Structure formats: structure tokens, C-alpha cells
Amino acid sequence: MSLPLPHSLSPSKVSAFKDCALAFRFSAIDRLPEPPSVPAVRGTLVHRALEGLFWSVPRGQRTAEAAQAQLERAWEEMQSDPEWLDLALSPEEAAGMLAEARVLVERYFGLEDPDSVVAIGTEVVMEARLGSLLLRGIIDRLDLLPDGSLVVTDYKTGKVPGVAQEQARLGGVHFYAFLCREVLGVLPARVQLLYLKDQVVLSTEPSEQSCWGLCQRVRAIWAAVERACRLEDFRPKPSALCQWCSYRAWCPAWGGDPALARVEALRMAPGRGGGGPVEGIEGVVLAAPAASAGVATGAGGDGLGAPAPGGPGVGSQPALPLDMVAPG
């Protein structure tokens, strides 16, 4: 008897496995839902506001006021979101969260001028194979530079990592670069993390060598995941992260029984039966074998297709020919 392998790996899953193999198992294999948290929901809200800024507002009109209007729209939409309802915040707590989101959106403008950005995709889902392994990631924003090169932008609403964690964060960046190369056939000129709260940009220029290094690291992690599944051996790794871990009730380091996690996962999601995608991502997926067919994105404000009536969303746009995205 062995545990089923996860269907795919994403940057967050790679990072989760390195942080604590047992927490990875609970999330990616047992698929135990994590309860919504204020930071996660606030992050979603800010991402949706910035997505709307690039989707619905033409260049030249992307002001701080326009961004706040997009935040208000996202806020109204969120009122019926199950994750939001599950948080069950008091009116005061909800107002506090909205105020924090407003500050994050405001601080974004200290990092770049959105009118100078040609965004050709938002919330772009990409996947590519690395041997038998499926790699999957969502790119917050894909930009086109005047010389035809691409920039991948990822918004961060948490704290800037310390020096020790910086390399780990940039590891996720190389993951995105690899996906771009496999799906679009173009290595991005730059991948940047925009830390809104602290107004810090971490960026790197990917290379063939960094892609190779990423592949080696991911292969090694996948081999470790396969081995752990085969032996049913996912060990807890207690650390400061435990205080934010949703799985303490099933963690032996906290007196729990891991065997009960899968039972609990099925109880919490009746009918799932262990099938379906691990990540739960819906919408159009850009897969490497179909790269030559085009690029389906959520962007619409920069002359590469009119915005869909329904507003931001993955896959609501027609596919863009690759040569429109990266000429030359």
C-alpha cells in the first residue's frame, strides 16, 4: 500500500514540501481543505483589484483612484464568495481588512507606473511536463516590453522575505520562467516579485542555466515525493511555521494522528473521492504542447483584445497568436 502521487507540482507545493513534508501530504495528497484566513482573503482581494486595473482600465487612465475603484468592485464581488463568508468577520474586522487592502493597492503605485506597462495577460495558468511530472503555475501578470521580450510579475501582499528565504522565493520565480519557456517558447527577460506592503521589488533575469538548475531541483523534490508516497513516510518538521499551520490537529508533533486526515478530508468534501486536480484551478490552461496555438490570457486593456463583458477572469479572452505576444 502506498499513498497516491499528487497530480502536479506548483511553486507553492514545492515550497510546502521543503518546509514540512507532512503538511505537504495533508494539502497535496490528502487534500485537506485549509480554512480561509484573513491574509489569504485580503491577498485575493488585492490581486483582483490589480487584475481589474489592467483588465478594465485602459493605459493612460490607470490612476490610484481607478485602482481603488477596482478594489471596491472586487470587494462587492467578494461579499458572496464562500471563502469570505466562511471567515465570518465582524463588521469592524471586515472594515479593517478592507482598509489594509486599500493601503496595499495604494502602495503598489510606489513600485511602478501602471500606465507604462503593456500587460498581455493576467492570472495566466500555465502547465508543462518535466518527464512524467506536470508542473503548473499561475502568473499574476505577463508584460510585453518594447523590444518584444516578456516580463513575469508576481504580486506579494506579505512581508519581504529575510535574506535566508530570499533565494527560496526566487526559486519560485525560476519556476515561472521555466513555464514561460516551455509554453510560449520564450524565456522571460525578467521575473519580478512586487512586495506591495514594503514597496520592495525582488527581480531576477532567468537564463538557460537557471532553468536547468530549477529542473534539477524540481526533479530531486519529485523523487523525494515519490519515495515518501511509496513508503508512506511524510515526516513532520516542526518550526516557527507550525503556528500558522492548519493541520496541527492531525500532526503527531502536536499530538494528532495523520491517519485521520484523509478520513477528515473526505468528510469535508463529500463526493470528491480523491479524484480531480490537486490544485483546483479552473479555466483555460496553457499547456506546453499547445503553445504554438496561441496564448489565452485574462488581459484586455492594452489593445490585444477587448475586455470581456464579465470583467477579469482566466480564459474569457480569445487566444492571442504567439507572434503577437513576442514578435521576432
User: Is residue 255 packed enough to be buried (19+ CB in 10 Å), middle (13-18) or exposed (0-12)?
Assistant: exposed
Task: Report if residue 245 touches ligand SF4, rule: CB under 6 A.
Answer: yes
- Select from 103, 105, 99, 101 the least CA-distant residue to 50: 105
Question: 220 or 241: whose CB is closer to ligand SF4?
Answer: 241
Buried b (16+ CB within 10 A) or exposed e, 189-228: bbbbbbbbeeeeebebebeeebbeebbeebeebbeebeeb
User: Is residue 246 packed enough to be buried (19+ CB in 10 Å), middle (13-18) or exposed (0-12)?
Assistant: middle
Query: Would you state the cell numbers that stand for residue 255, as one nine-digit string?
Result: 499530538
- Select from 45, 170, 37, 173 the least CA-distant residue to 104: 45
Map the footprint of ligand SF4 across residues 129-188, applying CB under 6 A.
none
Task: Report if residue 221 touches ligand SF4, rule: CB under 6 A.
Answer: no
Sole binder of ligand SF4 in the list 200, 242, 281, 308 (CB under 6 A): 242
Sole binder of ligand SF4 in the list 236, 300, 311, 315 (CB under 6 A): 236
Q: Helix 163-184 vs helix 11-19: angle between axes, to the nearest 10 degrees?
A: 150
**Contact window for ligand SF4 (CB under 6 A) among 114-122, 139-147, 244-252, 276-284:** 244-252
Task: Report if residue 247 touches ligand SF4, rule: CB under 6 A.
Answer: yes
> Closest separation between CB of residue 282 and ligand SF4, Å?
27
> Closest separation between CB of residue 121 and ligand SF4, Å?
34
Task: Report if residue 97 touches ligand SF4, rule: CB under 6 A.
Answer: no
Task: Report if residue 16 touches ligand SF4, rule: CB under 6 A.
Answer: no
- Select from 138, 145, 139, 140 the least CA-distant residue to 117: 145
> Closest separation between CB of residue 190 and ligand SF4, Å?
33
Sole binder of ligand SF4 in the list 248, 284, 305, 324 (CB under 6 A): 248
**Cα-Cα-Cα-Cα dihedral sign, residues 108, 112, 117, 123:** negative
Map the footprint of ligand SF4 across residues 252-291, applying CB under 6 A.
253-254
CA-based max dimension of the chain: 60
User: Under DSSP, is residue 56 helix (H, G, I), strand (E, B) or coil?
Assistant: helix
**Contact window for ligand SF4 (CB under 6 A) among 20-28, 83-91, 148-156, 300-308:** 20-28
Phi then psi for 156, rounded to 5 degrees?
Answer: -125, 130
Task: Report if residue 251 touches ligand SF4, rule: CB under 6 A.
Answer: yes
Task: Report if residue 237 touches ligand SF4, rule: CB under 6 A.
Answer: yes
> Closest separation between CB of residue 36 and ligand SF4, Å?
17
> Closest separation between CB of residue 238 and ligand SF4, Å?
4
Applying CB under 6 A, the residues found at the interface with ligand SF4 are 20, 22-23, 236-238, 241-242, 245, 247-248, 251, 253-254
